[in-house]
Structure 1
Amino acid sequence: MKRMVVLSCLLILAGCRQSSRPPSDARLWIVASIFPVQEIVREIAGDGVSVFHLLPHGTNPHTYEPPPSLVRDLQGVDLFTGVHPEFDGWIARFLPPSAKILYLSEQDGFVSHSHHPETEQDTMIGDHGQPVNPHFWLSLRRVRAVVPILTDALNTLDPQSREVYETRSRVFLERLDTLDVRIRSLFTGIPGRRFIQWHPAWDDFAEDYGLEIIGTLEQGHGDEPSVRSFRRLIEKARNASVRVVVVDLKVESRAAEAIVHEIDGDLVRLDAIGSPDIPERSDYFRLMDYNAKTLAAALRRP
């Protein structure tokens, strides 16, 4: 209730205040909800476009309340590159009527194929009624699929810079191919390619590189497994000699810690978001490289 009141006040503020965008700024203004999506857009758009992200590192997109200064910034936006209406759709309420909106996890054409039935609660439904895993940016394959869509959107909004966007798009795709080869090599020859994850963020990454997720601890946001499913997962992990449990960088999960203890395993922290303030994860390529190296090293440990 309190959040609804705050959001209502911010919406009123958005309607009453002018944008902080200077009238002389003729660049495209693009907002993404999270840092990795900002970086994907920036790779294609380049420095001639203003691209920023809304959610600070470690923020829950379901509970975040933007400050008034950021609400004013949103009034000058030309394009919002979101993840999914259920993930960050609330941002659209702060945008001007002229802003174009793209939810990228709905645009890539990939249907979620869950590795484990307990993750079904966290999948989201796309435009055509099919389940969609919103974490598209953690799959190079899915990012490749949205590159032409983003490029077309930029070309439509700024046709004079079409050549720039087309060139940068080609370069970005080439760099994705190079990164894909490098990540694939990291997992080559690993006998134990199975792990448990805390949250269903890594389903598509695992599928891309022939890894197997034998279970997911969190069925939805904040949901912990039942005692029965927890015991079943422990037994499954022991039978498959699984010792790696993947959690998010800042997550404190008693369930994850308990299962690590039960299987004498390793708690491995991956970063799904990254940050411009952390050098080794300060852009999209560094972020994905960091996660791949961290997970591969954990899976290789005897």
Structure 2
Amino acid sequence: MSLPLITDYEYGISAIDAQFHRPRRAAIHLIVEKGVAALVDTGTSFSVPGVVATLKQKNIAVEDVAYVILTHIHLDHAGGASQCMQFFPNAKLVVHPRGASHMANPIRLVAGAMSVYGEAEFKRVYGEIVPINIERIMEAPDESRINLNGRSLLFLDTPGHARHHNCIYDECSQSFFTGDTFGVSYREFDVNGREFVFPTTSPVQFDPVAAHTSIDRIISYKPRYAYLTHYSRIGNLEYHAQSLHDLIDAHVAIAQRAKDNGGERQSIISRALRNLLLQKLAEHGCQLPPNEINELLNTDIRLNAQGLIHWLDQPPDRFKQL
């Protein structure tokens, strides 16, 4: 097969395009330390052949993949995990303790996704997900570490987007692999090297209080870069952290204004989120045509609105935390 888009950075880090819906929508990050490799997130089962082809192009044997690391188990991040474990015979799957059982027995994970997409669409988008041998799964609780051929990777429990979310601090590059905790930043929105970042509040475990805390925890390490799954490396992290804090609060305010609108909530929240992000992109200096911006944002706005509605429907004491 042809190689996916690959972006090589320093310190042995590369972004491999997961080929999920469109180019540069989701990244699989490869870390190589003296010939030994780890992957951070996997894309879907359809992403894995591109990863294998990339390893071959880089002269990395499949036997030299030591770890397949999941930031969390949402299927755009973890859907290819079982195929990865079949391809990489010596790899351990490293996952948050809350997600480990779902990798060993993915019945509930698959059933939940099928209830949203339908069986045919699920299989078209995600392919097949099979159980992973529990003996090959390594749980990574808060502040645990793994050793990648002498390179230390630190795991931090970082809820907000999901309760089963880790961010991984790479001391060598002084950078974090943040999954969805530090938001979404599509390269199409870059303006003169400046990135645009916005939060993901998608279903079903959005927690704004935890999200704020996790962002502050990441920034406390004073990292140089964050490697986002959607999409890859960003800098200027203190600025983006403040922007994320502001946008999380704005998302919550939009949701709360719509909480008594019953069946109209989805459309009201989606419209308000679109207007908010279009305004922020204009302030950012984005010159893309509105139809192109909308095309890039449509899925995120729909999922963010669904996540905010789910959050609204949680017990009333949730609001006392704000």
TM-score scaled by length of structure 2 = 0.29
Structure 1 or 2, whichever has the larger Rg, is 1
TM-score scaled by length of structure 1 = 0.30
Q: Which has the higher contact order (CA 8 A, sep 6+)?
A: 1
The structure in which a higher percent of residues are strand is 2
The structure in which a higher percent of residues are helix is 1
